[in-house]
Structure 1
Amino acid sequence: MIWQLCKQHTIAMKKSLSSFPLLLCVLLGSYMARAESLPLAEVLQQAAQGNAQAQSQLAAQYHAGEVVEQDDGKAFEWASKAAAQGNADAQYLLGSLYADGLGVQKDAARAVELIRKAAVQGNADAQFSLAEAYREGRGVAQSDVQAVAWYRKAAEQGHGIAQDALGVMYANGAGVAQSDTQAVAWYRKAAEQGVAYSQANLGDMYANGRGVVQSDAQALVWYRKAAAQGNAAGEFAVGRMYDKGREVKQSDTQAVAWYRKAAEQGLVDAQTNLGLMYEQGRGVAQSDTQAVVWFRKAAEQGFAEAQTNLGLMYEQGRGVEQSDTQAVALYRKAGEQDNAQAQFNMGVMYKQGRGVVQSDAQAVVWFRKAAEQGFAGAQTNLGLMYEQGWGLPKSMDQAVQLYRLAAAQGSEDALRNLGSCYKRGSGVKRNLIAAYALYKVAAVKGQKEAAVNRDELVGKLSAAQLQAGQTLAQRLFVSANIIEKLDLYLRSGKL
């Protein structure tokens, strides 16, 4: 059995992954503000006379094509002159040109060397860029600890994007002790400066009650602030609030509208959810073709949930020509990213020999990957593989253990299989009352074979046993932990 489509309704902390060129816009803006009163002729004259600040400004103008014709070669020339005199802004600009191979051959190590010089002099943009280099391992050995150190230097100077980045590091416990409280503090500083990513991240902290008292109202306030700036993460989050009816009246139409805004900006979470809205016909006319379009956009960006969903569309021939081969290729990509749903689906495809050469051994490999992540369907199927000795040595002890794990999550298939173990006394002590109760609970959850098993068992029970089985089933059904309640009965023999 292939399970339903994956639905992505949570959003990881979104970090501004600004590259060096993006920060040049910030840098150039500061040059332009200082240069408003200086005509180009005067800037050229001062630069020619060796004035480092004028040379640095001229380099930025050539890079951006402001006032003068855009020319990275000349930007490199003038930035080199100013950087040689120790001008921090020029060092940062020159490092950025090396980083992206603009006007000079790309050289990550030289880029970091120059940006470090600017950072040491206190240039906040350079400090942020150096932190990014450490976080990504570009031109330096990767180090989250060093990234945090440099993010902090820039953040303490009021650099909004660095404040957001430092918040992300605290939220994820990367390079620093995990602290939701500190994450919120830094997100708030940046959010209040208008940094859209931080506004969305602060909204997430409120939505999830991390580092603050949970508040959908506050979450929505910050999501809307981010969305108002056209931030895709904020737009997606507002859509999610409408989708779930949190702090707003539930509206599939509004959810679709907001998902679309974010999806058109390339946000994979939004593309996936928009695909799901089309697949389910919620807020839009049902269209498998459009579902495939949006799943594909996210899948091509490597998003595992979308790859899994697109794989299922290929497997079922919905919106695309049916192809088990394509389904397997997509499931494999997602499974290799540790997507449990895809790993489970890979196990099924290998067990059934669909799109791949049939292999119980490979089915076991994939079921185990998903089972180790707590995926109930995989735990159930791996249990069955152990019970039957398919692809590995037969072991009822292992089978029962896996059925119990899945049954504790409410899996009707696992409840039915565990019921059969108690009926036969396989891997457990035979107990027909427990078997009946497990069959009954599974049947109520919709497991059709369990209903047949339950009815067949009735004739083998005394009136007292049947009453006990019905009572136990009722208690299991309402229990928060079915297995704990079952074990309590088995130990005491009392209901």
Structure 2
Amino acid sequence: MHAETVLKLTMQDTLQQAAQNRDAWIRAYREIVSEHPAAEDLAEQLIDRVQRAYAVLEERETLRSDGSLCQDPAYMEEFIRQEEQQEAALDGTFPLGREEDAAFALPYFPIPDLARIQLGFAAQVHTGTYSEYAQDVLVRKGILLEVLGQWKEAERCYQGVSTSSVVQQREFACRTKAQEQGEALYQKGMACVEQLDWDGAWYPFSQAADLGHREALAELGFMTVYGTGCGRCIEEGLDYLRTAAKQGSAYACQVLWELHDEGLRDVTGAEAQAWCRAAAEQGNAKALARLEDGFDLRPVTEILRERIGQGDVDALWYLAQELGDTQEAAGYMQQAADAGQVDALLFYAELYGDPAQPELYDPVKADACYRQAAEQGCEKAILTLGDRALHREDPPFWNRTEDPAAVPEDLRQRHRTQFDWYLKAAQGGCVSAMSHVAAAYHYGYPVEQDDRQAFLWASRSADAGDSYGMYACGYFYEHALGCEQDLSAALLLYTRAAEAGELGAMYRLIDIYETGRKGIPADPAKASRYRFAAGMNWD
């Protein structure tokens, strides 16, 4: 790195200005160390660096003042060689440690802010408030996001500055880095898939998708539609798949037409055929073969009536939806409920359980419908039965605000009933219920305190990819609650939870990295990164 860049100088600045900037850098580093003693080692390295940069400029000035030396070719060749070596040694692995990064960032920040960025405290740097005429704020935010490796977000900041070719080049560089990072994460996810570790694949796939990787988005769609490695949500999964298919993913197209072939009514024959053709145009052999078989393009109602004749209970519900608000639809809806179709049971349960419709309100019938659906393992019905055990003004058992010993017995009983239903949902695989069950066992309300059970349910929630479950499980590992202490496991779980957006995990990581723990050294840069991610000291 050029000595001028290290010291934040322009080509017109004098050696006197270089000395002033050197002193300003040193003051800035030492002021930060007074606030954050853990940064002292890196600060000393950076102080030595600015002193070496000043020495390079000082030697250069000495050469200029002695014109006779410039006339000696051998001396000049050796001088230039040594200066290049000295300047190359000024590069570093800390933030803004490369010439191109430092040269880009220097004009946008004063020396104290640059020193904080270099020492890993970017979250403490204020960027200012954006307005139409303050595009430099967007650039500063982009630089700080780059420091944190958030390439896609940095790219979006730079996109708002269309008047600078230098910023546009930086935007392209961020896009390239995002693509490279996205591909690396995608490959990491695929490696997990090859090991059938779907839970492990979710996180890298979601990160890669956030970076614009279309095949990772397609994999997320597949996982979400089928509930593999995550909670099942057909609508969300289809959104992922359709977006990836529009971007040219032949795999997403294939999953979409195969979902239609499996009977998913959300993908019509016409849509399945269109995606199949799109994949065939890319040379996909399966798509070409599937097109030869043809697609059933009859109206959905005609296809559903045929399935009803074949004894398909779900087709009763779907046909009622297709027919809309008609007497015929109501008849099919009733037939579906009589046959125990879960969606129809939930429909009538909500209808009978709504006090806003007094002419239909019948809590006994509502409970009966919910129980029928719950017997078939319906999570929504099980959780609702738990919630219906409470009075309207009752808080849920995980939100009690008073000492457990002071809770009235009738409320405690209602909470215990609610807990029993949530436990049943958790035992059936409901991830959202697992964290509440873990909290109940940990705090000893409305059941007996049992940290082993709390750890068990937090672990299951974490294994299912729930960010709060990861945080809770990490907390148990850190404090040896219901398990043996394992700081490495706690750190891993906190990190996974924080990367998924869990604030509690971010705060734990900030505390751990600021002071260090047994076997975990202090790391000011990581502490700063999580402060930034948590929104602390950030405009």
Query: TM-score when scaled to structure 1?
Result: 0.38
Q: Which has the higher contact order (CA 8 A, sep 6+)?
A: 2
Based on CA coordinates, which of the two structures has the bigger radius of gyration? 2
